[in-house]
């Protein structure tokens, strides 16, 4: 399943609306810290292993494309 993810910094929330997800991140957008936090939040929400979460696009932007492998 493919999800479009919008990231907001310095806030803490997680919202899923169909294939679009809004996630708040408390970590700083430095050296991939935010991406690691997003993967952990997605892993907890969907109760899957982090190895099944793939950041396909948007490594350095606030709009990301995430794929969850089956």
Residue 40 CB coordination number (10 Å)? 12
The yes-or-no verdict on residue 2 having pLDDT over 90 is yes
Residue linked to tokens 């932007």: 61
Residue linked to tokens 């990231």: 7
**CA angle, 66 then 10 then 23, to 5°:** 25
Q: Could you tell me which CATH class the domain 2-68 is placed in?
A: alpha beta
Distance between start and end Cα atoms, the chain: 8
pLDDT tens-digit readout, 6-61: 999 999 999 999 999 999 999 888 888 999 999 999 999 999 999 999 999 999 99
pLDDT band at 68 (very low <50, low <70, confident <90, very high): very high
Give the residues across from 15 on adjacent strands: 22
């Amino acid at each position: 399943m493919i999800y479009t993810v919008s990231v907001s910094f310095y806030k803490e929330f997680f919202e899923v609306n169909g294939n679009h997800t809004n996630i708040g991140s408390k970590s700083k957008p430095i050296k991939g810290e935010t991406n690691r936090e997003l993967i952990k939040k997605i892993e907890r929400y969907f109760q899957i292993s982090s190895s099944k979460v793939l950041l396909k696009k948007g490594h350095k932007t606030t709009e990301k494309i995430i794929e969850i492998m089956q």
